[in-house]
Amino acid sequence: MFISAALAATAATQGAEHGDKGGSFPPFDPATFSSQLLWLAITFGFFYFIMARVALPRIGNILEDRRDRISQDLVEAQRLKEETDASIAAYEQELSEARHKAHVIAGEANDKARAAADTEREKVEMELAENLAEAETRIGKIRDAAMAEVETIASDTAQAIVNQLIGGKTTKAEIVKAISSASK
């Protein structure tokens, strides 16, 4: 009650300020409540009918389309994920096979290189053995030649020493005879 009296007083003062002749604010006028309720029911029914027949089915269709699209996208994403996983597995398999082939090829190349190196080493060793045999042959000839010359050198040296010490002259034949008798 207090509120309605305050509203009436406020409406009267506002009306007087604006030049109204008096009266209350129409929505708060108790005489118009029944017509306001009737128009409220009609408007509510009209909007309910429009919402139920037009707006809500459209919104429902949109939501269902979205739900269908999302489920299709999820199915497509799952299919793509499976394809990706299969591709990754195939890639890993091919990579493993390529690595295995690379190891096989590297092993074969290593074996070939080792065989070539062994062949080359054997060839070099044979050349060195031939060179060593030739060197030993030459050394043997030089040694034989030197040994043959030793007697000549020894006899010349002995003759020079004897001539120096004795002061006489000795012949080479006498020195060779003395050396050969001493070596026997």
Residue 53 DSSP code: I
Q: What is the three-state SS of 86-146?
A: HHHHHHHHHHHHHHHHHHHHHHHHHHHHHHHHHHHHHHHHHHHHHHHHHHHHHHHHHHHHH
Q: Which of 15-19, 28-32, 56-60 has the lowest mean pLDDT?
A: 15-19
Contact 9, 25 (CB under 8 A): no
More confident residue, 16 or 54: 54
φ, ψ dihedrals at 134, nearest 5°: -65, -40
Give the HSE-up count for residue 155: Cα atoms under 13 Å, Cβ half-sphere: 18
pLDDT above 70 coverage of the chain, percent: 86
Q: Is residue 13 scored above 80 in pLDDT?
A: no
Contact 7, 25 (CB under 8 A): yes
Question: In terms of C-beta density within 10 A (0-12 exposed, 13-18 middle, 19 or more buried), how is residue 113 classed?
Answer: exposed
Contact 32, 26 (CB under 8 A): yes
pLDDT digits (tens, 9 = 90+) for 120-164: 999 999 999 999 999 999 998 888 888 777 777 777 777 788 777
Which sequence spans correspond to the domains of the chain?
32-183
The residue behind tokens 């489920």 is: 71
Instruction: Specify the pLDDT at position 86.
Output: 95
Average confidence score pLDDT of the chain: 84
The tokens of 74 are what?
A: 């999820």
The tokens of 168 are what?
A: 């006489």
Q: Give the highest mean pLDDT range of 19-28, 56-65, 140-149, 174-183.
A: 56-65
Q: Among residues 158, 159, 178, which one has the least CA distance to residue 170? A: 159
pTM of the model: 0.40
